[in-house]
Structures are given as structure tokens and as C-alpha cells.
Amino acid sequence: MQKLQGIAVSPGVAIGEALVMDNEGFRIPRRFLARDAVENELERLSLAFDAAAREIEHNRDAVSRELGKEYAAIFEAHLQMLRDPRLRGELDQMVRERHYSPEYAVSRTLRRYAKVFQSLDSGYMAERANDIFDIEKRLLRNLLGRRREQISNLTSPVLVLAHNLTPSETANLDRRFVRGFVTETGGAGSHTAIVAEGLEIPAVVGTGPFLTDVSGGDVVIIDGDQGLVILHPDEETIARYRHEVEQRRTMAARLESLRDLPAETQDGVRVQLDGNIEFPHEVGHCLDRGADGIGLYRTEFLYLGADVEPDEEAHYNAYAEVVQAMAGRPVVIRTLDLGADKLSTPGLDIERNPFLGLRSIRISLRNTELFRTQLRAILRASALGDVRIMFPLISTMLELRQAKMVLADVMEDLEEHGRPFNRDLKIGMMVEVPSVVIMIDQFVEEVDFLSIGTNDLIQYTLAVDRSNKDVASLYTASDPAILKLIELSVQAARRRGIPVNLCGQMSGNPLYTMLLLGLGLRQMSVPPSAVPEIKKICRSVTIAQCEEVAARARRLEHARDVKRYLKEELKQVLPELVG
């Protein structure tokens, strides 16, 4: 049994067979072969070696012709390694005697060689490890080439274990069969994590390297609450987790009874509890859980899996579906937040610092045709229900005014063409850049509502990449600076008499509910799966109690003390929610 600690990003427990994707997206198959398959598999290995050698010779000759012999020497070294009888003997023996699959044998052996090179105290030798990885990839490509399977072609339940998954790969996971996933990279605030919550499957990211220790078909447990991944679990551990799955079912069934009750505190203060969605079908998840509205519709996910740029009708159809399903309840549609880790933007250069680069409202303001297309669709959908519009990643007043000007212009256009829309639709902005909080008193004069995006606010305030596992311990909503920024925003909105929501992942974490209520927040927008728990907390506390919690938390100097304190408080109110 091997336990890996990663970052918990989507709750729940999954037990099942692994589907392993290596860092080039190859699916590493089962470790063991059937006894009668050995001869055929040895033949396959032999053909892969021959094909790999031919490719290298071809590259060597081409480089030699173009650049001269000395540049082709590297390929000679690769060929020598490939023709080393000891390597070949070791692999054949693994297949013949241990019944390992050729892919598994190649991966395991060459990675072991590479590790030895990496451990040598010499930069030159460490570099040679890359040559070995190169040979491994070449052999795997030849072994798996035509049989390379997509994660989308599944026929039975699996847990996906991968080096990395992009937000779009995650969004395209087949929910009928993928019961959970783990990635070696990634951080708590990454969009891959957000999509996982949307899919409502347990997920852990940022475990660090482990894919060499597991192969397709191995039994794995993903504990999405503790951020734990257990490889090859023993019977006792499996039994314990099965019991936990059962307990969760019971708890979920109990919380279901809250669906039609309001998120109202014991002293009668009504909290607006909305859901965050990425795709129209998630509206069902929100309604099933008893959300009051959609507090954040991340429209950029319309681009995922789309071969062509969505036109106005594609935008409109998606929004109309959501608005109609919400039947008069509020729907906050956020304009495109493209760029950064979500979706690379075609035609734009690879950026060195994408989170500080051309993303979100900056793209919309540079590409006004794209922006206007979306605004037209949102405005048209506003004729169907309570639509509100929200601009993401505003960092200066000029950006906000420009965005509003384009919106006003599109309204004129629609009016001229006699298209119906709500002229009085509410216009809001996200608070996710510290510059906005610094100037918050001016911003509240210009909008109808605010929505605090802590996912970005944390990364821009603490200078921590939200998707980088190596700085994940620094990425926390408990930091006193973050609490201060939330408090300043809430107070400014209250003074101005406009609503303020919090739609970052923080509001879906039960740990922070009392604190946020105590800081004066009366609206939260959370992943749909979190609605029942957050509602339960709201209904179990008084505002006076929460204000006391907030006052004490604010006096603490360190994030870890804040977290520890909030955990104690939650334990007293609802011990079953504390893991």
C-alpha cells in the first residue's frame, strides 16, 4: 500500500481501477499479461525497437546532411543505447518471466535508468536523463502508437491518474465512467480543480510524481476530502473507505431535506445562496440542491471542445437554456474570462506570465467584435428572465468604463434593430485584483453589484500562482490580508447600498461560512455540490455568533492559526462537517 498526499480539490471518495495517462497522454495499460500472450508481446516489443531505431537513423541522416556529422552524434548515442543487449535482455526477461506488459517494462526500466543519471552529481550526466526519457517516449509511441486510446473512449468505470489534465480535458471526461481523477501537477485554485467540482467527482491534484508506481487496472482509492491517494490499498483500508462512502450517502440524504428551505440563520437573517456553473447542464445540479440563483456563470467554458469560435447564436442558446431553466431566479452571466490557465487564446503568443498577461476583460476590450457578440447574446437572453451581467478581472476604472461603454453601444444597436432586452439589467464586476479593493469606494459608485473572486484575489494579493503545486501551501483564503480585503469590499458595498457576493471557491468551503457571515456577507455563490452543506451551516448559526468568530479570526496573525480556529468553531456547530 502506498499513500500519496496531494491537494484536495473536489470532495468525495472513489475506489476503483486506475487508468494511467503518462505525461505525453499515453495510456499505460495493465501491468500483467496473460501467460499465453507472452510470445506475441515479445514480438511486439521487438518490432517497436526496430521501428524506433529506424526513426533515429532517419533523424541522424537528416541532421547530418543539413548541419554536419558532429550534430548527429546525439542520435548515435541514442542508437547505441537502444542496441545495448543488456537493456534488451532486461526487458525481454521482464516480459517473459514476470509477465509484465512491454509498455510497463519499458517505462519502468528506462525511468529507473534515468533516475540513476539524475542522481549523479554532475549537470552533464543529469542532462543525459533526458536522452533516456526521449528513448522511452519513442518506444512507447511505437508500442502504443496505433492503439493509443483517448480517455473519452471508455466502457467501464475508472479513476484517471494523469501527469496533468487541462481544464478542457477535464471537462471532456466521460462522467458515465470517470469516477475520480488525480494529477501529479496543479494547485487548489486551478481551473482543472474548478471543473472537477463541476463534474462532482472526487479529485486530488499536485501529488508530485507517482505514475511510475502504478499501472492500468491497479486498485486505487481517491480521498477527495483529505487530498489522499492510496495505491494498492489493503483489504482493511478498502473496507474503511467503503464505510465512509456509505456514511456520505446517509449525510447527503439528510441534507436533501433542506432543499426547499431558505438559507436563513437562526436569528432570521436571509442569506442568498447561489450556485456557480460552467456548463448549462449544471443548472439542474443547482436546482436539485436548492440554490437561490446562479451567482456565477463562467461562460468561457463554451469554448471548451468547440472546434469553431462560438457565434452569437451559440452564446444565446446556452444562456437561454440557463435562464429559462432558472425560471425567474437571478442568473449572473460573466463575460468571457479567457486566457491564463483556462484556455489558450488562438493567435496569441505564448506568454511568460499568463496570469499577468492578456486574459479576461483585457482580451474582450482588445477584441471588441468578440466582446460585442457575447454582449448581444447576453442582452437578448435578458429578455427571458432575471439576467445580470458581470465583468471579470477588472483592475482599473478605465477598463470598467470601457466595458460599460461597449455594453451601452450594443444596447443602442439592439434597440435600433428592435430586439427585446432588459434595459435595466444590473451591471456588476468581479473584485479579484487588489487594486480594485484599494480603490473600492470609487468602484462601488459605478456598478450595481460586486462579486468577490477569491480564487484570483488570493493569487494576486499573495503573489502565489493558483495552479502551482510547489507554492500550494502559500495559497490560502485564511491569510489575514485576504480577510481584510474581503472586509473592505463588503463594507464599501454596504455603505453604497449595493449587493456583494463571494463566488470564489472559499465560499463553498464550510470552514469559512461563519467567518464570511460575520464579516457582513449575505450572498455566497458556491459549487452546486456545496449548497446543502453551506445552507445547513447558515441555518445552524446566529449572526451575533458569526460576528464573534470574525472578530476573533481577524485578531490572528497567521493563516494557519485562522484555519485552526475556524475548524474548532465549525466543530462545535456541526462536528460532522469537519473531516
Q: Select the span of 159-167, 180-188, 203-211, 447-455 touching ligand PEP (CB under 6 A).
A: 447-455
C-alpha cell at 522: 449575505
Distance separating alpha carbons of residues 80 and 89, to the nearest angstrom: 15
Task: Between 355 and 565, name the residue whose CB sits nearer to ligand PEP.
Answer: 355
* Continuous segment of H or E residues that includes residue 437: helix 434-438
Alpha helices in 68-190 (DSSP H): 73-82, 85-98, 102-119, 123-144, 167-171
Task: Between 72 and 318, name the residue whose CB sits nearer to ligand PEP.
Answer: 318
Q: Select the span of 72-80, 295-303, 454-462, 518-526 touching Mg ion (CB under 5 A).
A: 454-462
- The distance of closest approach from Cβ of residue 392 to ligand PEP in the complex, given in angstroms and rounded to an integer, is 7
Q: Tell which one of 456, 465, 479, 533 touches Mg ion (CB under 5 A).
A: 456
Binder of residue 205, out of Mg ion, ligand PEP, none (CB less than 5 to 8 A by kind): none
Contact call for residue 472 and ligand PEP (CB under 6 A): no
- Taking a C-beta distance cutoff of 8 angstroms, is the pair 275, 288 a contact? no
Q: Select the span of 383-391, 454-462, 482-490, 493-501 touching ligand PEP (CB under 6 A).
A: 454-462
Binder of residue 489, out of ligand PEP, Mg ion, none (CB less than 5 to 8 A by kind): none
Classify strands 523-526 and 272-277 as parallel, antiparallel or unpaired. Answer: parallel
Core vs surface per residue 90-115: b (16+ CB within 10 A) or e: ebbebbeeebbbbbbbbbbbbbebbe
* Continuous segment of H or E residues that includes residue 50: helix 38-67
Distance separating alpha carbons of residues 280 and 301, to the nearest angstrom: 10
Q: Select the span of 179-187, 297-305, 452-460, 462-470 touching Mg ion (CB under 5 A).
A: 452-460
* Active site residues per annotation: 191, 503
- The distance of closest approach from Cβ of residue 455 to Mg ion in the complex, given in angstroms and rounded to an integer, is 5
Number of Cα atoms under 13 Å in the Cβ half of residue 225 = 14
Binder of residue 194, out of Mg ion, ligand PEP, none (CB less than 5 to 8 A by kind): ligand PEP
C-alpha cell at 8: 484536495
Q: Tell which one of 180, 206, 385, 453 touches ligand PEP (CB under 6 A).
A: 453
Task: Between 183 and 459, name the residue whose CB sits nearer to ligand PEP.
Answer: 459
Q: Tell which one of 6, 11, 280, 504 touches ligand PEP (CB under 6 A).
A: 504
Binder of residue 169, out of Mg ion, ligand PEP, none (CB less than 5 to 8 A by kind): none
Task: Between 341 and 456, name the residue whose CB sits nearer to Mg ion.
Answer: 456
Task: Between 432 and 569, name the residue whose CB sits nearer to Mg ion.
Answer: 432
Distance separating alpha carbons of residues 486 and 68, to the nearest angstrom: 63
Q: Tell which one of 453, 508, 527, 528 touches Mg ion (CB under 5 A).
A: 453
Contact call for residue 359 and ligand PEP (CB under 6 A): no
Select from 202, 158, 138 the least CA-distant residue to 10. Answer: 202
184: which DSSP letter? S
Task: Looking at residues 416 to 445 of the shown chain, list those that interact with Mg ion (rule: CB under 5 A).
Answer: 432
Distance separating alpha carbons of residues 72 and 76, to the nearest angstrom: 7
Contact call for residue 292 and Mg ion (CB under 5 A): no
Task: Between 428 and 453, name the residue whose CB sits nearer to Mg ion.
Answer: 453
Grid cell 543519471 — which residue? 117
Q: Which amino acid is at 377?
A: A
C-alpha cell at 362: 483585457
Task: Between 230 and 486, name the residue whose CB sits nearer to Mg ion.
Answer: 486
Collapsing DSSP to helix, strand or coil, 431 comes out as strand
Task: Between 300 and 456, name the residue whose CB sits nearer to Mg ion.
Answer: 456
Q: Tell which one of 22, 184, 223, 456 touches ligand PEP (CB under 6 A).
A: 456
Distance separating alpha carbons of residues 367 and 363, to the nearest angstrom: 6
Task: Between 233 and 339, name the residue whose CB sits nearer to ligand PEP.
Answer: 339
Task: Looking at residues 141 to 200 of the shown chain, list those that interact with ligand PEP (rule: CB under 6 A).
Answer: 194
Q: Tell which one of 231, 490, 503, 570 touches ligand PEP (CB under 6 A).
A: 503
Select from 156, 165, 157 the least CA-distant residue to 184. Answer: 165
- Taking a C-beta distance cutoff of 8 angstroms, is the pair 222, 14 a contact? yes
Distance separating alpha carbons of residues 46 and 40, to the nearest angstrom: 10
Q: How many CB atoms lie within 10 A of CB 135?
A: 22
Contacts (Cβ under 8 Å, ≥6 apart) of 490: 452, 500, 519, 520, 521
Count the site residues for Mg ion by CB under 5 A.
3
Q: Select the span of 279-287, 420-428, 448-456, 560-568 touching ligand PEP (CB under 6 A).
A: 448-456
- Taking a C-beta distance cutoff of 8 angstroms, is the pair 458, 190 a contact? no
Distance separating alpha carbons of residues 383 and 387, to the nearest angstrom: 8
Binder of residue 298, out of ligand PEP, Mg ion, none (CB less than 5 to 8 A by kind): ligand PEP
- Closest residue to ligand PEP: CB criterion: 453
Q: Which residues bind Mg ion (CB under 5 A)?
A: 432, 453, 456
Q: Which residues bind ligand PEP (CB under 6 A)?
A: 194, 296, 298, 337, 432, 453-456, 503-504
